[in-house]
Amino acid sequence: MDFPLVSIITVNYDHPEVTCDLLKSLRHLTYPNVEVIVVDNASPNDDPAIISQLYPEIIFIQSKVNLGFANGNNLGIKQAKGEYILLLNNDTEVDAGFLEPLVSKLQSDPGIGMVSPKIRFFYAPDTIQFAGYTSFTPFTLRQYLIGLNEIDTGQYNQSCETYSIHGAAVMVPVSVIKEVGLMAEMYFLYYEEHDWAERIKKAGYKAYYVPESLVLHKESVSTGKLSPLKTYYITRNRFLFARRNIDGIKRLITLLYLSFIALPKGVISFLLERRPDLAAATWRAYFWNFVHFSDIRKNQLLK
């Protein structure tokens, strides 16, 4: 294989020490042609200056406002010079040779538009988090991680097409991004990678899982495991994803299900668990969709 430039982009939001751990692992890459871009999303509490001080080789971009995951990554993509873009969560660490299989898979077939590596949990490194995605179930929009919480014994060591990629680590050729556009910034946080995958597949490309590449994921360092912030955006964007990506009678049935079954079920469940903050976040998420109707399918192009 040759070694086209890969632009590795990660978004920092507080916890600069976590980003520094990632950058330390990136220093050991065997792939010889990379640039690393760190976008700080206006960290409110922790000064991110230590990142560029300890790792002066990176390109450091500091936003004046919190742009969210999609827009933060898009900001990095606009500054990137690589032939391939790798979006990598800052709460990950990587194997030294994880880039070569991803680049090789994309080079092997121009019909592949995006790839994700095998992802295991950082704090349980023998346990799988991601070995591909199932398709969304009709109407309920539920989707499942293949291999989740299984001990890795090599059972998912065959590269294959996957319904979607994992937002913690995804590589896309710049040529594909120029064709389909950047990630949809209206999501802000969660579901934007699945929306991107839908658009890339609708353009005729495939998404692939590449097990020869390994990433370890610490997961949810910035947002918390059951925070109102996470609950709000996952709930809001599940509804938004349906509005943007489903048409016809399936769209109508899905929106009716989300409005009259999933909404009351979610609110009541959180109230029974004595989490009124999560119940309120769920209600606000649905209300956002009822008051935001215009331009939901607008996508920003990469110039």
pLDDT over 70 for what percent of the chain?
Answer: 97
> What are 216-271's pLDDT values in tens digits?
999 755 555 678 999 999 999 999 999 999 999 999 999 999 999 999 999 999 99
User: How high is the pLDDT of residue 224?
Assistant: 54
d(CA 86, CA 172) in angstroms, rounded, equals 7
- What are the phi and psi torsion angles at 274 (to 5°)? 60, 45
Number of Cβ within 10 Å of residue 3's Cβ equals 13
- Rounded to the nearest angstrom, the gap between the alpha carbon of residue 243 and the centroid of all alpha carbons in its chain is 19
Residue type, 244: R
User: How high is the pLDDT of residue 172?
Assistant: 98
d(CA 216, CA 205) in angstroms, rounded, equals 27
**Those residues with Cβ within 8 angstroms of residue 49's Cβ, 6 or more apart along the chain or in another chain:** none
> What are 63-82's pLDDT values in tens digits?
999 999 999 999 999 999 99
| Predicted TM-score (pTM) of this structure | 0.93
